[in-house]
Structure 1
């Protein structure tokens, strides 16, 4: 059965990703993809990218605004920069992007096809069809402006594209997966992210097959001049179709408009499990991680969430906001990005992946155990409220290289300078 993998409705945010964060997103995104491919294979990476909840969590753990439309643009851009140099090794190619880059996708696919040996022309056609379906066959008030096409050497692919509704200040993300795809016009999507906003014309719905056939018949038999006279006959059928509402629900992520991270956005028992695994288990049970220079308890806590992105099942990503507690957010929500922790996370992941390529799995195995320990602990541990966790992060942000789009994070008012603390 063909399927659209899912979708997401997101507040529409402007602005650009600062270079200091974009460079780190590129490195962390690439090494996380390497770890997933190492453990589970390329097809599993595509399945995850096609899942709207995982995709949002992936962007949040990399320090982007946890709920906004910017995650889509920044993640596709980071993967294109980070995976392109690894395309020969991984057999994964990222094409397209935002605006003018999206229109270059067919040409990129044809060029890659010539180089690696797949049918680039056929994939270019698929790219155009996917864009046409979400801009013409599905008329939901969102105009496409981003098209990311990720393809493997064996021609399997995932598409992540996004449209905007400027009047409502909202964006909608559409996910497609080639696995099992038999038709581009009959229930093809893996997912569409977005809120219900009135009537939507969706000619890709399976129940619209009669409508699609009827439109072709009308054009052939009547011509455009007489079609308008047939319009009245459509309304009774449309009324009947509304009564038939049985349709399988795709994963649908709807992000709130509020910028701050609230307890209602997070499954707190999972967060407490992440924290407890780092505090209680990291120093004693995971010496392989702690041998990496500079790694402390705060980095192990971030690694617990990074490990979940690598190993977690789809049901684990129902609260993407939780993953912003790993490396904060560029806009200071939930707290400034702790650059020292971020850089240590990248160093640990790069070390683990590099050693795994040589057959030394100790560090990657330690991360997998850390994820498993967090899941076991969350069944019974309790912990502080979210506001207390966030307040603690702000208190130590200046010590961890905290940074946001507003600049480096200063010490809290009344805090002693580090020199005075040491001398005291």
Structure 2
């Protein structure tokens, strides 16, 4: 399920090479420790927690609250565990911009080696992205999509959208498996400073709307077009997500021709149809309301930076010597101690208590 999302200010710039190299090494040690003690699924649960993820990014030394913490932290993890994926049973696909579009290909390449069904994971990746870009229309365009998964088929998504008008970014977290429900309240927790109105197809109260929109999408386009043309007066509700062109009969004809040919069995199937995006869903939602009287929810589901410092000097400049020492301690604790696994972890816990 989606576990939450965070809203962060958009910042320009990137992590300097000297910092990102350290972030990569420290991320590798932390992920190795998490998998060693909690398993790959335990690491997924933590990455899917927006609060834990934020603290993780801060410990790695990136800005404590900027949008870049998402892309840089995910990139550091992906780069850090490169070559250790099969040993850990923990994998990463996707990333920012053009890299995100390679997610299905990267998942398939990994599954060829693990033997897991790639189609299920690719579908989870695509649907989670489609929900946050189309089924939940909150004004943020997805530009980053990172897909973390285990060889057992559990997965988590950390993806981020931007709103250039407000200068803010919003991060969405998912945690799922083969039983995940993508279309009915998929989030279990939400972390966000800003709340607004959204066209929310995945809200619980949108259940009937999802059914009607799916039913409408499976109808012959001419039948719906005739209904719309017979209306002599069209009263537009005052909603920021509705535009007159969204219910133009000619536009509806193009939409319904595509959806009728594929006849979706449910809302998730409709969402998965290539080309069905925010505008298509807005048009279908308004048409379904006019024909069936069903409304779609407009409820917005939105409801440790002192470890090593931050790249912009907040709360203080990155202490390189201390950063390197942390990496050295973690690496030695996991790889060099001549004790068995349980003693090794106990020693690390004692070290953590000592440093408090």
> What's the TM-score, normalizing by structure 2?
0.76
Equivalence for 2:78 = 80
Verify the 8 A CA contact 1:8 1:192 in the aligned structure 2.
Answer: yes
1:347 is aligned, of 319, 325, 328, to 328
Q: Displacement, 1:358?
A: 5.3
1:329, 1:82 → 2: CA distance? 19
Alignment of 1:219-298 (within 5 A): 219-221=217-219, 223=221, 224-226=224-226, 228=228, 230=287, 233=290, 238=295
Verify the 8 A CA contact 1:28 1:346 in the aligned structure 2.
Answer: yes
Equivalence for 1:335 = 316
Query: What is the SS of the residue equivalent to 1:336?
Result: coil
Query: What is the SS of the residue equivalent to 1:324?
Result: coil
2:292, 2:161 → 1: CA distance? 29
Ranges in structure 2 where 5+ consecutive residues have no aligned partner = 232-286
Equivalence for 2:32 = 34
Query: What is the SS of the residue equivalent to 1:162?
Result: strand
- CA 1:232/1:145 → structure 2, altered by over 3 Å: closer, same or farther? closer
Q: Say yes or no: does 1:202 pair with 2:233.
A: no
Q: Displacement, 1:206?
A: 2.0
- CA 1:73/1:155 → structure 2, altered by over 3 Å: closer, same or farther? same
Equivalence for 1:422 = none
2:130, 2:75 → 1: CA distance? 22
Query: What is the SS of the residue equivalent to 1:149?
Result: strand
2:149, 2:338 → 1: CA distance? 23
Equivalence for 1:53 = 51
- CA 1:339/1:163 → structure 2, altered by over 3 Å: closer, same or farther? same
Query: What is the SS of the residue equivalent to 1:151?
Result: strand
Query: What is the SS of the residue equivalent to 2:218?
Result: helix
Q: Displacement, 1:91?
A: 1.0
- CA 1:361/1:182 → structure 2, altered by over 3 Å: closer, same or farther? closer
CA displacement, residues 218-246 of structure 1 (integer Å, 9 cap, x when unaligned):
2334734257565664897549x67xx8x
Q: Displacement, 1:141?
A: 0.1
How many residue pairs match? The answer is 297
Verify the 8 A CA contact 2:116 2:152 in the aligned structure 1.
Answer: yes
Query: What is the SS of the residue equivalent to 1:325?
Result: coil
Query: What is the SS of the residue equivalent to 1:84?
Result: coil
Verify the 8 A CA contact 2:308 2:319 in the aligned structure 1.
Answer: yes
Q: Displacement, 1:21?
A: 0.6
Q: Displacement, 1:374?
A: 7.0
1:154, 1:180 → 2: CA distance? 10
Q: Displacement, 1:176?
A: 0.6
Equivalence for 2:275 = none
Alignment of 1:61-100 (within 5 A): 61-100=59-98
Q: Displacement, 1:115?
A: 1.4
2:44, 2:331 → 1: CA distance? 21
2:9 is aligned, of 8, 11, 25, to 11
Verify the 8 A CA contact 2:208 2:294 in the aligned structure 1.
Answer: no
1:183, 1:226 → 2: CA distance? 35
1:38, 1:360 → 2: CA distance? 8
2:338, 2:46 → 1: CA distance? 22
Q: Displacement, 1:89?
A: 1.0
1:169 is aligned, of 167, 170, 182, to 167
Moved more, 160-169 or 81-90: 81-90
Equivalence for 2:148 = 150
Report the RMSD for the aligned CA atoms in angstroms: 2.6
- CA 1:66/1:42 → structure 2, altered by over 3 Å: closer, same or farther? same
